[in-house]
Amino acid sequence: MTVGGFFGDEGKGKIIAYLAKKDNPAIAVRGGVGPNAGHTFAFEGKEYKVRMLPSAALNPTTRLLVGAGVLVNPQVLLSEVAMFKAEDRTYVDAQCGIIEQAHIDRDRAEDHLKGKIGTTGTGTGPANADRALRTLKMAKDVPELSLYIEDVSNSVNYALESGEKVLVEGTQGTYLSLFHGGYPYVTSKDVTASGICSDVGIGPKRVDDVLVVFKAYVTRVGGGPLDNELSEEEAKKRGWLEFGSVTGRQRRAAPFDFALAKKSIRLNSATQLAVTKLDIMFPSCARVRQYEKLPADARKYIEDIEGELGVPVTMIGTGPELDDVVDRRKTT
């Protein structure tokens, strides 16, 4: 299972796309809120973004599942299915909630959501509110999705019982959790590892590994506190200025935050860490795929993180291509 350790946008998409290629899982299943998350990965010079499908979409033999806890925007899902030619390997749970235009309109009209919280405007908050009221439409009630409906928790548990590899993809990040983030500047659900288990319908003891993904620095979009936030000018100077993959909004930036990382490791019961975008901090890391070939200052950065946090950094991102990874896992 892979989850975000900060405020989303840690680079989970690229790590998952790499794992999907390298480990060839039978199933990749997406948890998290819904199409408010955009996961990005690049392969052979082409950039892909997924807001509904798992980031394993390029592996033609991996089944792509969306868990019951995830909200589905049918239009977004169907366009991604077509883009990846994944008609015969995409399945959404019968009980995925459906986002309709009215949810999007509400998300974008409200001063509170759009103005104060700075939501992505994708309708997820209002849809989850309707779900709590038990008035939300379910995937099983949408004819255009009928070919893709499945009992996803059943498929995932059956695969695990059969000894098959399952890659579970969390979205957003720990500090956007409705329960554990800085309320009210959070998303509309819990997005820690426990929440992701619930989204896809597995019990906590089924998870072998929780890979918490941190970026080498911290970014955040929308409102809410960000300790040691850099000025726009300073972020630009350091090359940390980023733009949101769903909304295009400029991301706020700050240095790596050990206190947040420590708490995140506990909230998610991390067994491994990934640190992405090391090449942005240390340009001579770009595209390096062997740990020994990283420059000494970059290795020290990683070793400081491991020393401080007490969890091994098993994956290091060194570029946008899904293969631009230092993979330090002992077994795969």
How far, in Å, CA of 214 to CA of 6, rounded?
Answer: 6
Question: Catalytic: 9?
Answer: yes
Q: Coil, strand, or helix at residue 152?
A: helix
The one segment of 5-13, 59-67, 152-160, 277-285 that binds ligand IMP by CB under 6 A: 5-13
| Binds ligand IMP by CB under 6 A, chosen from 59, 62, 119, 192 | 119
Query: Which segment (30-38, 55-63, 72-80, 104-112) binds Mg ion by CB under 5 A?
Result: 30-38
- Token pair 């906590």 in the structure block, residue: 204
Rounded to a whole number of angstroms, the minimum distance from the CB of residue 183 to Mg ion is 21
Nearest residue to 188 (alpha-carbon basis) of 123, 268, 94, 269: 123
Least CB distance to Mg ion at residue 244 (A): 7
Closest approach, Cβ 154 to ligand IMP, in A, equals: 27
Site membership for Mg ion, residue 38 (CB under 5 A): yes
Q: Which of residues 190-249 bind ligand IMP (CB under 6 A)?
A: 221-222
**DSSP run (H or E) holding 259:** helix 258-268
Tokens of 268: 């998610």
Under the binding rule (CB under 6 A), the answer on residue 9 touching ligand IMP is yes
What is the rounded radius of gyration, in angstroms, for the C-alpha atoms of the chain? 19
CB of 273 to ligand IMP, least distance (A): 19
Is 112 a catalytic site residue? no
Nearer to Mg ion, 63 or 215 (CB): 215
The only residue of 33, 56, 267, 315 in contact with ligand IMP, by rule CB under 6 A = 33
Give all strands of the β-sheet with 166-169 in edge-to-edge order.
149-150, 90-93, 63-66, 27-30, 166-169, 2-4, 211-215, 272-276, 313-317, 325-327
Q: How far, in Å, CA of 59 to CA of 41, rounded?
A: 13
Residue with token string 């039978």: 26
CA separation for the pair 219, 229 (Å, rounded): 9
| Residue placing its CB nearer to ligand IMP in the complex, 55 or 119 | 119
Taking a C-beta distance cutoff of 8 angstroms, is the pair 49, 38 a contact? Answer: yes
Q: Choose, by CB under 6 A, the member of 8, 67, 74, 195 that binds ligand IMP.
A: 8
- Alpha-carbon span 26 to 61, nearest angstrom: 7
**9, 93, 107, 279: which one is catalytic?**
9
Does residue 80 belong to the site contacting Mg ion (CB under 5 A)? no
140, 149 in Cβ contact below 8 A?
yes
Q: Which is nearer to ligand IMP, 120 or 318 (CB)?
A: 120
188 touches ligand IMP by CB under 6 A: yes
Q: Which residues are catalytic?
A: 9, 39
Contact positions toward Mg ion, by CB under 5 A?
Answer: 9, 38, 245
Contact positions toward ligand IMP, by CB under 6 A?
Answer: 7-9, 33, 36-37, 117-120, 122, 124-125, 171-172, 176, 187-188, 221-222
